Amino acid sequence: MRALTSPQTAKHASWEYAEQHHAEDHILEAARRRGEDLGVTPVSEGVAATLTVLAAAMGARGLVEVGTGVGVSGLSLLRGAAPDAVLTSIDPDADHLQAARTTFKESGVPSARTRLITGRAEEVLPRLTSGGYCLVHLDADSPELDEFVEQGVRLLRPGGLLAVNDALDHDRLPRPAVREESTRRRRAVERSVRDDERLVTTMLGTGTGLLVAVKR
Ligand SMILES: C[S@@+](CC[C@H](N)C(=O)[O-])C[C@H]1O[C@@H](n2cnc3c(N)ncnc32)[C@H](O)[C@@H]1O
């Protein structure tokens, strides 16, 4: 009997189903609408849910994020983290940070649990304490992505977790013919994380790829 759907179509349907496994509440929906207004693409629903689960599994207390955006990923991290966890999140765009503040406020996150820093990660990350954090999330496309990864590993305590969103560069990374700068950058990051003996890593297919690594 002929298959009704191609393997690719079936695979895509499974991915879409998995993305929506966790229905989002009205607070994250409102944050996503603010993202549309500002031209910010928040992490996907599947990535948001994965970040919550990872933060919960670790009982994360100190978290660092590059690319606050409208706060979808930040709130998702805090929802999984320990009740006294503090999220340090960095973004150079004041409008994005304001939108994220609204997201945190609407969710009832006390302001003491977020440290929102207006700045570029390449300037801010080197000032943060080595080994002082449980989880580092990177979600900003930058020519300095490899440096953010190196800084992220430096910031993690042993057992800490690094997560890099959009690690498959909008699904372009698996196509060898694609040689966009952003794709090359992510290929290099994937290789360096995989080859780094300090790390245990895997690539999750959620969203457009979530590269995760634990520091030994
Ligand atoms: C894809 S959005 C982040 C979305 C956010 N994680 C969320 O879920 O709402 C990328 C963000 O990275 C910020 N960004 C760009 N360059 C940056 C840099 N060098 N350091 C820190 N953030 C940067 C942008 O201003 C933008 O808000």
CATH code, 85: 3.40.50.150
2 found inside a domain:
no
- The dihedral through the CA atoms of 89, 95, 99, 102 has a sign that is positive
Q: Which of 96, 146, 151 to mutate to test the pocket of ligand 1 (most atoms within 8 A of CB)?
A: 96
pLDDT of amino acid 3? 62
Among residues 78, 80, 74, the alpha carbon closest in space to that of 97 is found at 74
Calculate how far, in angstroms, residue 147's C-alpha sits from the geometric centre of ligand 1: 15
pLDDT of amino acid 8? 86
pLDDT of amino acid 4? 64
Q: Which of 88, 123, 124, 142 to mutate to test the pocket of ligand 1 (most atoms within 8 A of CB)?
A: 142
152 found inside a domain:
yes
User: How many Cβ atoms sit within 10 Å of the Cβ of residue 191?
Assistant: 10
Nearest C-alpha to atom 27 of ligand 1 is from which residue? 69
Amino acid type, 182: S
Among residues 147, 156, 201, 197, the alpha carbon closest in space to that of 60 is found at 156
Quote the CA–CA distance of 127 and 123 in Å, as a whole number. Answer: 8
pLDDT of amino acid 2? 60
Residues of the chain with pLDDT under 50: none
Give the range of the structural domain holding residue 178, as residue numbers without chain letter.
7-215
The ligand 1 atom at the shortest distance from the C-alpha of residue 31 is 9
Among residues 146, 138, 132, the alpha carbon closest in space to that of 60 is found at 132
Calculate how far, in angstroms, residue 20's C-alpha sits from the geometric centre of ligand 1: 23
Calculate how far, in angstroms, residue 4's C-alpha sits from the geometric centre of ligand 1: 41
Relative to beta strand 86-91, strand 133-138 is unpaired
1 found inside a domain:
no
- Number of structural domains (the chain) is 1
Q: What is the largest CA-CA distance in the chain?
A: 62
194 found inside a domain:
yes
Nearest C-alpha to atom 1 of ligand 1 is from which residue? 41
Calculate how far, in angstroms, residue 65's C-alpha sits from the geometric centre of ligand 1: 9
Quote the CA–CA distance of 194 and 50 in Å, as a whole number. Answer: 20
Radius of gyration over alpha carbons of the chain, in Å?
A: 17
Q: Strand locations in 56-198, DSSP E?
A: 62-66, 86-91, 114-118, 133-138, 156-165
70 found inside a domain:
yes
Structure token digits, residue 64: 């660092």
Per-residue DSSP letters for 5-41? Answer: S-HHHHHHHHHHHHHTSS---HHHHHHHHHHHHHT--
Nearest C-alpha to atom 12 of ligand 1 is from which residue? 67
Cβ–Cβ < 8 Å for 215, 158: yes
pLDDT of amino acid 185? 96
42 found inside a domain:
yes
Among residues 94, 213, 85, 62, the alpha carbon closest in space to that of 150 is found at 213
Quote the CA–CA distance of 14 and 123 in Å, as a whole number. Answer: 40
199 found inside a domain:
yes
Structure token digits, residue 62: 């100190």
119 found inside a domain:
yes
